[in-house]
């Protein structure tokens, strides 16, 4: 237990000196770290805080009101627990200016009306401090031993709470964050009223999330605070061991994914610790990757998240899932092999489609993976691109449902410039005549050009994709070349510029019609 100023004043040799408290209250809460004696006026810089300073006032002789104020202010700023002045040798009574200064700066000030050898005070207080440290260690070891025995014995929550009650000397209860009384040391859950004032309590965290509170029927004291600290950790371990916190673990994993996707984290160490707590541990030789998933509109997001989470668990060696706005995001363990990752994502899509078909209906609209990165901390470089890519895939209607971020590298780049007037002028300079033609005649020249370029300039494949006769396609292509100034579509630079303009146009069109 911590030694306080009140404890020091209650020592027998101190009571014989008839201490009088001139300034200060709640001295039973002023912790004493050490006792120091000094007659030096400028003692402040030599102190570290928590000291009881004993003095006869010799160094204060002749000091004016300003100097006494500075003296008290310096001691208070250093966090001195109390100033004790022995009267008689230097001052017959306490200087009024020093009393006023102590009161003004919040420095407890005590005078002794009798003589006491300061060395004896120092020895007595230091012995008390040492005894208190040893007693604190004994109590800590006892609490640790009793709680460890409870965990190893398999006594469960109520068994642990029974041990907590024995250590604290009062009933103990575990209360969930929603106010539900989970267990009470004496089994009387119905009689326990959570959150009563004046009760000692401690938050119980599992996987880094607040799970509930450990409450004691008695008020706080040092012994009970020691018990609460150890018991909260022991109960968290029991909850995790028993599997009673699967929802909390899932939510902690979801919270980690959301924070990685939106940049809400402090440093790589924090990410690594949180990943370990939720059990995200890719096997040796595996990397990690962020994945974005979009389901068809109208599919309940809760059902979709459950289906994606289950499919990811069966498809990848390690996975975490979260919903964020209209997206479902995954962090998964992957081999650093593009073909392997595409196959796994195809399997993920199939499994989600089957589950949604059996339950809420709907299917996967698109899945996109970000860059492969080495570990959980580096997912901050993979999840945001995955989220951007799946959104672009939906906006552009790419056709394929499984994509890597690299498949959409150009659209992702252009999307950052979507509101730039220069991009609008670029699109107009290349596609303006075709857009005007289609608008005036309900034509299909832009779509025809897009399919022709997408099919590698194959007229047969383009005609099949559009569902038109070859002669119709030939006429359209001739019209396109004429409107574009007669420049051949087989020219590489011309083709590249047109492909970029088409991507920009589709992005602008999608943004305008969302």
Q: How far apart are CA 386 and CA 330, in angstroms?
A: 9
Task: Identify whether residues 261 and 371 lie together within a single domain.
Answer: yes
> Can you give the CATH number for the domain in which 166 is found?
3.30.450.40
Looking at residue 242, what is its pLDDT? 63
Q: Are strands 109-112 and 82-86 parallel, antiparallel or unpaired?
A: parallel
Looking at residue 329, what is its pLDDT? 96
Boundary (domain end) residue, out of 64, 92, 116: 116
Task: Identify whether residues 211 and 282 lie together within a single domain.
Answer: no
Specify if 129 maps to a domain: no
Task: Identify whether residues 179 and 267 lie together within a single domain.
Answer: no
Please name the helix (run of DSSP H) or strand (run of DSSP E) that holds residue 295, with its range, or none. Answer: strand 287-295
Handedness of CA 245, 246, 249, 250 (dihedral sign): negative
Q: How far apart are CA 415 and CA 402, in angstroms?
A: 20
Q: Are strands 209-216 and 201-206 parallel, antiparallel or unpaired?
A: antiparallel
Boundary (domain end) residue, out of 229, 244, 259: 244
Looking at residue 489, what is its pLDDT? 77
Task: Identify whether residues 193 and 325 lie together within a single domain.
Answer: no
Task: Identify whether residues 105 and 23 lie together within a single domain.
Answer: yes
Specify if 443 maps to a domain: yes
Task: Identify whether residues 160 and 104 lie together within a single domain.
Answer: no
Task: Identify whether residues 373 and 288 lie together within a single domain.
Answer: yes
Residues 6+ apart with CB under 8 A from 445: 434, 437, 438, 476, 479, 480, 483
* Three-state DSSP string of 107-163: CCEEEECCCCCHHHHHHHHHHHHHHHHHHHHHHHHHHHHHHHHHHHHCCHHHHHHHH
Boundary (domain end) residue, out of 374, 398, 414: 414
DSSP code for 190: G
Looking at residue 511, what is its pLDDT? 46
Q: How far apart are CA 199 and CA 378, in angstroms?
A: 44
Instruction: Show the domain range for 422.
Output: 417-513
> Can you give the CATH number for the domain in which 410 is found?
3.30.70.270
Token pair listed for 500 = 């970029």
> Can you give the CATH number for the domain in which 461 is found?
1.10.10.2840
Count the residues in the chain.
Answer: 514
Looking at residue 243, what is its pLDDT? 55
Specify if 162 maps to a domain: yes
Task: Identify whether residues 95 and 190 lie together within a single domain.
Answer: no
Token pair listed for 293 = 């998933």
Task: Identify whether residues 400 and 261 lie together within a single domain.
Answer: yes
Given a contact cutoff of 8 angstroms between Cβ atoms, the answer to whether 367 and 293 are in contact is: yes
Number of domains in the chain: 4
Task: Identify whether residues 100 and 228 lie together within a single domain.
Answer: no
Task: Identify whether residues 329 and 356 lie together within a single domain.
Answer: yes
Given a contact cutoff of 8 angstroms between Cβ atoms, the answer to whether 197 and 186 are in contact is: no
> Can you give the CATH number for the domain in which 64 is found?
3.40.1390.20
Handedness of CA 397, 402, 405, 408 (dihedral sign): negative
Task: Identify whether residues 198 and 172 lie together within a single domain.
Answer: yes
Specify if 215 maps to a domain: yes
State pTM to two decimals: 0.49
Specify if 159 maps to a domain: yes
Specify if 149 maps to a domain: no
Looking at residue 503, what is its pLDDT? 76
Specify if 186 maps to a domain: yes
The 10 Å Cβ neighbour count of residue 140 is: 14
Q: What residues in the chain have per-residue pLDDT under 70?
A: 1, 130-139, 178, 197, 207-208, 242-249, 277, 397-399, 409-413, 415-419, 487, 508-514
Burial class (CB in 10 A: 0-12, 13-18, 19+), 464: middle
Specify if 492 maps to a domain: yes
């Amino acid at each position: 237990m911590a030694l306080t100023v009140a404890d020091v004043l209650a020592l027998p040799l101190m009571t014989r000196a008839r201490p009088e408290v001139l300034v200060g209250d709640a001295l039973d809460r002023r912790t004493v770290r050490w006792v120091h004696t000094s007659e030096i006026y400028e003692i402040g810089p030599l102190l570290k805080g928590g000291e009881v300073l004993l003095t006869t006032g010799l160094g204060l002789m002749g000091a004016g009101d300003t100097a006494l104020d500075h003296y008290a202010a310096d001691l208070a700023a250093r966090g001195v627990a109390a100033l004790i002045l022995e009267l008689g040798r230097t001052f017959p009574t306490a200087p009024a200016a020093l009393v006023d200064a102590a009161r003004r700066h919040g420095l407890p000030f005590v005078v002794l009306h009798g003589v006491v050898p300061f060395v004896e005070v120092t020895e007595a207080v230091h012995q008390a401090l040492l005894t208190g440290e040893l007693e604190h260690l004994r109590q800590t070891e006892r609490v640790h031993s009793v709680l460890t025995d409870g965990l190893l014995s398999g006594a469960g929550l109520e068994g642990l709470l029974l041990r907590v009650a024995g250590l604290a000397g009062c009933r103990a209860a575990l209360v969930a964050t929603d106010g539900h009384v989970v267990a009470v040391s004496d089994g009387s859950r119905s009689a326990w009223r959570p959150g009563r004032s004046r009760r000692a309590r401690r938050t119980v965290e599992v996987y880094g999330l607040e799970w509930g509170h450990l409450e004691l029927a008695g008020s706080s004291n040092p012994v009970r605070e020691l018990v609460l600290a150890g018991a909260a950790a022991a109960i968290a371990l029991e909850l995790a061991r028993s599997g009673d916190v699967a929802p909390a673990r899932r939510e902690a994993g979801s919270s980690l994914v959301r924070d990685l996707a939106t940049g809400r984290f402090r440093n790589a160490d924090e990410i690594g610790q949180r990943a370990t707590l939720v059990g995200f541990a890719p096997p040796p030789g595996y990397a990690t990757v962020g994945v974005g998933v979009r389901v068809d509109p109208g599919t309940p997001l809760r059902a979709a998240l459950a289906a994606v989470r289950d499919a990811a668990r069966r498809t990848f060696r390690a996975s975490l899932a979260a919903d964020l706005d209209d997206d479902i995001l995954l962090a998964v363990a992957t081999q650093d092999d593009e073909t392997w990752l595409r196959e796994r994502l195809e399997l993920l899509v199939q499994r989600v489609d089957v589950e949604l078909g059996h339950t809420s209906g709907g299917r996967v609209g698109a899945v996109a993976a970000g860059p492969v990165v080495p570990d959980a901390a580096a997912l901050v470089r993979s999840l945001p691109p995955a989220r951007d890519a799946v959104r672009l895939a939906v906006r552009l209607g790419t056709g394929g449902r499984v994509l890597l971020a690299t498949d959409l590298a150009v659209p992702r780049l252009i999307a950052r410039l979507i509101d730039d007037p220069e991009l609008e002028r670029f699109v107009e300079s290349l596609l303006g005549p075709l857009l005007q033609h289609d608008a005036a005649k309900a034509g299909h020249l832009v779509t025809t050009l897009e399919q022709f370029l997408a099919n590698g300039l194959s007229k047969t494949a383009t005609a099949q994709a559009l569902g038109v006769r070859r002669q119709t396609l030939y006429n359209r292509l001739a019209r396109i070349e004429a409107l574009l100034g007669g420049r051949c579509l087989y020219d590489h630079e011309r083709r590249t510029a047109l492909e970029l303009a088409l991507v920009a146009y589709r992005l602008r069109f999608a943004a305008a019609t969302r």
